[in-house]
Structure 1
Amino acid sequence: MAAKRRTGLYWLILALIAVALSGCRGGTTWSKKEEVRIGQEIAAEVEKTYKLDPDPEVQRRVQLIGQRLVAVAGDKDFKYSFKVLAVDEINAFALPGGPIYVFRGLIDAVGDDDDMLACVLGHEMAHINRRHANKQYTKGLWASILISLGTKGKVRDIAEITSALLELKYSRQDEYEADRLGIEYAYKAGYDPNGIVRFFELLKAKEKGGDPGVLANLRTHPLTENRIWRAKQHIEKITGQPAQGGNS
């Protein structure tokens, strides 16, 4: 059931991005205004199709942490929002221009550790600020979807594109950059940046335990030892103290 829900969510997002792109100006990149429009349109449809978590305290917690991050690292041209979807998986995603969604499974997994949650939100916010989705578009990724849908290609062809996109990961450098900036955002907002190390340890433990709720996260955000090492090195750089947690 979770797999079907996740697949449906990504189908929706990808299709909506393709439709939204039809209203963009010509060229190979989006303006910030276009990113905001695309993100808002997709967010509206996501929330029509997938339920927000009904717990107001959970929503308030994520919003408060998110707004602290925006206060120290927000881009005035973007419209940030932070919401929790009632999906039992350990994952989160960002849309162009500002919307960030966290799955309830991630909230439950981190428990009361606001530092972990702040680092995750900071990571997603960095993808927005550095316009990583825009970079994917300039590579022709979303253009391929638009062409396929616009020409009413065979369902099999569209399915193949979507299947590939479901396995798509940001480039290694984009992930490193999002980790680095997410750590900085959390630290500047008053959170312990070691929260990202604890989150990585949590993912590793659940992966070893065969927890299906973590698989989607690891597919799109591969947890390599080099990535963990880089995060620790950056924590030491900005705090002047050894990173805490895990093996040094």
Structure 2
Amino acid sequence: MGQIANVPEVSSQFKLDMETASRLRPELMAQSVAAAGHYATGGLAFERLLPEVPPASSSKVRWRLQIVENDQLNAYSSPDGTVYVESGLAKMAGPSAGLWAAILSHEIAHIVRRDWARRYLYEKVLETSGSQNIVLGDPGVPQANWSSSEKASADLGRFCRQMELEADREGLMLMARAGYHPDFVPALHHLLHARSSGLKTASLYAMHPCWEERDHELGGAYTKASIEFEHRWREWYASPGGNPPVIVFADSPLVKKHGSKEWEIQVPMRCQNLVGAVEVVLRADPGRKEMMRIGELSDADDRGYEVRQLTGCTSPRTTVVFPQAEIMARRKPGTQWTDVYVIDAWGSVLARADLPKLPE
């Protein structure tokens, strides 16, 4: 990785933030609605987080939460204090105050840190250091347009990923102080990973780190935030976010052969905060993408597209085994087993992994 240039401090007199907000606000506000009705849980979480923001950081900010009705899985913020959550992500968070807090605390941290201005100043540093043709984009806003040389793109990508991790760290402490367990952040990452076809790697030029990188880099921040949460909320169930969520880490499945023909699929996994059992589902792609929708995993499926197993996931490293005979007995002609999902008793997806190609 290359070096990330030093970024000048953002002066309190720097006006780009509000100028950018005034330019973007009419368009974004026209596409969004207030967080009420079905999204009221998000509004309540937002109101609980704001008192934990340092007063000096929000003295000139008018905080507002808006839902963008486009069914996408994204969230972004405007420097004037408006946080926008796209309705696909809002519906995914649903009634979980903890998932809402994980989303909102990160966006609040971007506003408090004035990351719009920091990115602008960093692009100016790249310009003066010899990288030409950089056009300011809107960090956090979908489909922002900017062009640059490959080197400048890589430098800017690294800088933006660093900003995202810093916002993650500050967001973790913010939600812990407000009464939301930090484990809701990796739980959110797992849900997004499952909904995004399991994309594991971030491009060199990508603006956000991949989920695995975020969870790895934030290990120390999770620990500090957990200590802060437990200090303030000794009875977890009484906190605004309630008990921490179930988190399942599903590693890449393995195909283990026994002799020349016999084989089985092994799914290594570990669980946190689990009470009861989860279900591990092998899912086949019947050639029609609509059959792969997450919501259908909660349905009892006897059509040859799934094989299921319950597990208590009680040991630090649990391996769920699917024998060849069981798999092949359920397979319909023309289908290929493609995915592993781990779901809870309500059919919500906790983890997802790609299956390797199976022997014929």
Normalising by the smaller structure, the TM-score range is 0.5 to 0.7
Trace 1:36-75 onto structure 2 (pairs within 5 A): 36-48=18-30, 50=31, 52-53=32-33, 56-74=36-54, 75=57
Q: CA distance change for structure 1 residues 95 and 220 in 2, over 3 Å: closer, same or farther? A: same
Secondary structure of the residue that 1:122 maps to in structure 2? helix
Deviates more, 1:224-233 or 1:87-96: 224-233
Counterpart residue identity of residue 193, structure 1: P
CA distances 1:67-117 after superposition (whole Å, capped 9, x unpaired):
221111152222221110101111000112311100000011122221111
Q: CA distance change for structure 1 residues 209 and 230 in 2, over 3 Å: closer, same or farther? A: closer
Q: CA distance change for structure 1 residues 81 and 31 in 2, over 3 Å: closer, same or farther? A: farther
Q: Distance in 1 between matches of 2:16 and 2:209?
A: 29
CA distances 1:146-169 after superposition (whole Å, capped 9, x unpaired):
8xxxxxxxxxxx97639x9x9975
Q: CA distance change for structure 1 residues 55 and 230 in 2, over 3 Å: closer, same or farther? A: closer
Identity %: 25
- Contiguous gaps of at least 5 residues in structure 1: 1-27, 147-157
Q: Tell me if 1:122 matches 2:105.
A: yes
Counterpart residue identity of residue 147, structure 2: I
Secondary structure of the residue that 1:161 maps to in structure 2? coil
More strand by share: 2
Q: CA distance change for structure 1 residues 204 and 54 in 2, over 3 Å: closer, same or farther? A: same
Task: Tell me how far 1:178 sits from its aligned partner.
Answer: 0.6
Task: Decide which of 68, 81, 104 is 2:64's aligned counterpart.
Answer: 81
Q: CA distance change for structure 1 residues 236 and 55 in 2, over 3 Å: closer, same or farther? A: closer
Does structure 2 retain, via aligned residues, the 8 Å contact 1:186–1:193? yes
Alignment correspondent of 1:202: 191
Trace 1:80-229 onto structure 2 (pairs within 5 A): 80-140=63-123, 144-145=134-135, 161=147, 169=157, 171-208=160-197, 220-229=207-216
Q: CA distance change for structure 1 residues 100 and 40 in 2, over 3 Å: closer, same or farther? A: farther
Secondary structure of the residue that 1:90 maps to in structure 2? coil
TM-score, normalised to structure 2, is: 0.47
Task: Decide which of 217, 234, 244 is 2:221's aligned counterpart.
Answer: 234
Q: CA distance change for structure 1 residues 63 and 33 in 2, over 3 Å: closer, same or farther? A: farther
Deviates more, 1:36-45 or 1:177-186: 36-45
Secondary structure of the residue that 2:247 maps to in structure 1? coil
More helix by share: 1
Task: Tell me how far 1:131 sits from its aligned partner.
Answer: 1.2
Q: Distance in 1 between matches of 2:164 and 2:35?
A: 31
Q: Which has the larger radius of gyration?
A: 2
Counterpart residue identity of residue 205, structure 1: A
Q: Distance in 2 between matches of 1:55 and 1:137?
A: 30
Whose relative contact order is higher, 1 or 2, with alpha carbons under 8 Å and at least 6 apart?
Answer: 1
Does structure 2 retain, via aligned residues, the 8 Å contact 1:29–1:138? no
Q: Distance in 2 between matches of 1:55 and 1:95?
A: 16
Task: Tell me how far 1:238 sits from its aligned partner.
Answer: 2.7
Number of matched pairs: 200
Q: Distance in 2 between matches of 1:54 and 1:124?
A: 16
Task: Tell me how far 1:36 sits from its aligned partner.
Answer: 3.2
Q: CA distance change for structure 1 residues 99 and 44 in 2, over 3 Å: closer, same or farther? A: same
TM-score, normalised to structure 1, is: 0.66
Q: Distance in 2 between matches of 1:171 and 1:190?
A: 28
